[in-house]
């Protein structure tokens, strides 16, 4: 193995990122580690030696990670430092004689084209070699509303894609992903140019990855996905007409009904219920779906009302609208069917399992006596631990006992747990009770059924799934985050991450997350919060102010 001058820019990046930051020997120790017998006792290929050196200098970082960031840095080095992270720039980017900065990277499209409204263009049959990169820069006409990029590979290599959007020299937006193909649509928030960086990794299909690259523009379309009029459980229930609660609406914003459009903010949405303005309190982009928290306005009487949502641009012009008829229900009493789906696979261990049980019992106490709750535990298979039933005092106590009886063992079949939960909701759920499943897991599914097998059943029954991932996952399983976030987003649920026992107060962390989900399911507002530990036999006093407008439930 040799270190080549033809790759000197990469080696400089490596030294700056992973070596010491003191002159005069700035970063030289990173080279010394690369050649050291401790990191590399025997000579082998350069990629393996780099991975061994990085394991010493920055455990958990791979050559692939560094190459991806380097591919961005040699473009982003020309942007304002204040707008880019340190890993996407150089400490010293001067030529050896100090006359000027390193030259810019060559663009794959020359001259650089301009994307104008209702226009598109395609570069067909382009290629990128393994461990090389290309830069597709496009200038943006200020009147373009949505920018869509689509890279469709005819080979099957895993490539690295980075989409950067700039306003002048400031990096305003970035998105990165490893995948075979790449499709992304973003709203034009005053960008004057975008670039898609394509980097070949360890191409396994062939040395050359072959793809078509398309840039497109147009207007976005908005669709209300939730709430809906039918079935009854799909309606938003907001309480009494003269004292309504907040509710969540889910909308899709698409370009050409194909690519979800990212980059809209709360101020880009406005809503009306029954013809009255309803304040959009927050808008969160979750995997291409926007979750809108809306404050329901007062109405003249209880009953069903239409929901209308407008998508507006920065000049307050309405870009698109949608209405869901009779989808918001002003009603006094409303209750829920809840299934708690707990991972009991061997990886849960003692600390995680104890925390899951403790927090699970808190969840049981978070719902009303007319709500229904059941418990499922899954490992290689799944078992119904507690049937779905109303939370009477006796049934609550039984639920506590069933949760306490769960022990950790075997593999992980999240799909089996979801299937048993859905089966219980279908057979024992009350017709006008909305259905929710809360999943707690610490790892990647490795046994059938899989989430993908059960998802159509969940969607077909309108079941909302909330997900908690507990503990840090190894890099080989990081796709679990995407899978579980997508499960929550597709069904209209929430996603949370909980630290592992070594990095957080896990029992209280899990309790917080369960409580947050309960507050999301049943509109509640917390007026006092504290946390800590109480030794057995001891107690702690809290002084709470109770006002006249509070109701005992």
From the DSSP assignment, how many helices (H) and strands (E) are in the chain? Answer: 10, 25
Q: What is the mean pLDDT of residues 363-385?
A: 88
The band of 510, judged by pLDDT with boundaries at 50, 70 and 90, is low
Average pLDDT, the chain: 85
What pLDDT does residue 503 have? 42
Rounded to a whole number of angstroms, the CA Rg of the chain reads: 27
Sorted by where each starts, the structural domains of the chain and their CATH numbers stand as: 5-88 (no CATH), 114-218 (2.60.120.380), 228-330 (2.60.40), 337-521 (3.40.50.410)
Q: How far is residue 378's CA from residue 363's CA, in Å, rounded to a whole number? A: 18
CB atoms within 10 A of CB 252: 17
What pLDDT does residue 517 have? 67
Q: How far is residue 277's CA from residue 213's CA, in Å, rounded to a whole number? A: 43
Joined together, the tokens standing for residue 96 give 């050896």
**How far does Cα 56 stand from its chain's mean position?**
31
Task: Please say if the pLDDT value at position 49 is more than 60.
Answer: yes
Residue 343 three-state SS: strand
CB atoms within 10 A of CB 240: 15
Q: What is the mean pLDDT of residues 64-85?
A: 94
Task: Please say if the pLDDT value at position 25 is more than 80.
Answer: no
Task: Please say if the pLDDT value at position 380 is more than 60.
Answer: yes
What is the largest distance, in Å, between two alpha-carbon atoms of the chain?
Answer: 82
Task: Please say if the pLDDT value at position 507 is more than 90.
Answer: no
Least confident window among 175-179, 308-312, 391-395, 549-553: 549-553
Q: Tell me the per-residue pLDDT of 296-342, one tens digit each, with 9 for 90 and over.
A: 999 999 999 999 999 998 788 899 999 999 999 998 878 899 999 98
Task: Please say if the pLDDT value at position 347 is more than 80.
Answer: no
The band of 213, judged by pLDDT with boundaries at 50, 70 and 90, is very high
What pLDDT does residue 501 have? 44
What pLDDT does residue 16 have? 92
Q: Tell me the per-residue pLDDT of 398-454, one tens digit each, with 9 for 90 and over.
A: 999 999 898 887 777 889 999 999 999 999 999 889 999 999 887 677 788 889 999
- In the chain, pLDDT over 70 holds for what percent of residues? 85
Q: Tell me the per-residue pLDDT of 223-268, one tens digit each, with 9 for 90 and over.
A: 998 899 988 878 888 889 998 988 888 898 988 777 889 889 999 9
What pLDDT does residue 512 have? 62
User: Could you tell me which residues come within 8 angstroms of residue 305 by beta carbon, excluding any fewer than 6 positions away?
Assistant: 273, 274, 299, 326, 327, 328, 330
Q: How far is residue 158's CA from residue 174's CA, in Å, rounded to a whole number? A: 20
Give per-residue burial for 87-115: e unless 16+ CB within 10 Å, then b: bbbbeebeeeeeeeeeeebebbbeeebeb
Q: What is the mean pLDDT of residues 290-295?
A: 88
Task: Please say if the pLDDT value at position 39 is more than 60.
Answer: yes
Q: What is the mean pLDDT of residues 202-230?
A: 88
Place of tokens 């003692």: 350
Q: How far is residue 482's CA from residue 480's CA, in Å, rounded to a whole number? A: 5
């Amino acid at each position: 193995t040799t270190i080549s001058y033809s790759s000197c820019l990469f080696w400089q990046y490596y030294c700056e990122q992973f070596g010491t930051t003191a002159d005069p020997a700035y970063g030289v120790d990173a080279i010394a580690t690369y050649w050291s017998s401790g990191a590399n006792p025997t000579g082998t290929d350069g990629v393996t030696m780099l991975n061994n050196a990085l394991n010493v200098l920055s455990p958990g970082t791979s050559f692939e990670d560094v190459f991806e960031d380097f591919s961005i840095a040699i473009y982003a080095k020309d942007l304002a430092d204040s707008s880019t992270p340190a890993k996407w720039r150089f400490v010293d980017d001067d030529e050896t004689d100090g006359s000027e900065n390193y030259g810019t990277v060559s663009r794959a499209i020359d001259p650089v084209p301009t994307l104008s409204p209702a226009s598109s263009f395609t570069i067909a049959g382009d290629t990128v070699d393994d461990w090389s990169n290309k830069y597709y820069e496009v200038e943006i006409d200020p009147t373009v509303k949505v920018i869509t990029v689509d890279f469709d590979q005819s080979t099957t290599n895993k490539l690295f894609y980075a989409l950067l959007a700039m306003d002048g020299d400031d990096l305003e937006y970035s998105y990165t992903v490893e995948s075979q193909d790449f499709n992304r649509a973003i709203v034009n928030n005053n960008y004057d140019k975008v670039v898609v960086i394509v980097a070949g990794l360890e191409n396994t299909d062939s040395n050359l990855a072959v793809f078509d690259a398309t840039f497109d523009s147009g207007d976005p379309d908005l669709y209300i996905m939730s709430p809906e009029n039918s079935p009854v459980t799909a309606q938003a229930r907001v309480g009494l007409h003269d004292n309504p609660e907040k509710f969540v609406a889910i909308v899709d914003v698409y370009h050409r009904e194909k690519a979800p459009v990212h980059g809209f903010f709360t101020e880009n949405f406005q809503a009306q219920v029954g013809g009255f303005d309803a304040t959009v309190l927050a808008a969160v982009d979750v995997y291409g779906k926007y979750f809108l928290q809306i404050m329901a306005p007062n109405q003249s009487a209880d009953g069903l009302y239409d929901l209308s949502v407008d998508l507006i641009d920065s000049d307050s012009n309405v870009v698109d609208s949608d209405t869901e008829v009779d989808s918001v229900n002003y009603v006094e009493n409303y209750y829920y069917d809840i299934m708690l789906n707990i991972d009991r696979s061997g990886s849960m261990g003692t600390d995680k399992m104890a925390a899951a049980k403790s927090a699970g019992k808190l969840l049981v106490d978070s719902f009303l006596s007319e709500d229904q709750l059941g418990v499922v535990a899954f490992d290689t298979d799944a078992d119904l631990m507690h049937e779905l039933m109303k939370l009477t005092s006796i049934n609550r106590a039984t639920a506590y006992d069933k949760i306490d009886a769960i022990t950790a063992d075997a593999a992980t079949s999240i799909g089996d747990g979801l299937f048993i939960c859905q089966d219980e909701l279908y057979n024992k759920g009350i017709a006008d009770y909305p259905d929710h499943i809360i999943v707690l897991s610490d790892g990647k599914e490795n046994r059938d059924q899989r989430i993908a097998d059960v998802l159509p059943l969940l969607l077909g029954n309108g079941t909302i799934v909330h997900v908690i991932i507990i503990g840090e996952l190894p890099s080989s399983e990081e796709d679990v985050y995407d899978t579980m976030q997508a499960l929550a987003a597709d069904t209209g649920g929430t996603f949370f991450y909980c630290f592992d026992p070594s990095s957080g107060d896990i029992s209280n962390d899990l309790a917080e997350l369960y409580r947050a989900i309960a507050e999301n399911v049943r509109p509640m507002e917390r007026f006092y919060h504290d946390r800590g530990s109480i030794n057995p036999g001891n107690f702690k006093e809290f002084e709470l102010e109770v006002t006249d407008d509070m109701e005992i439930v």
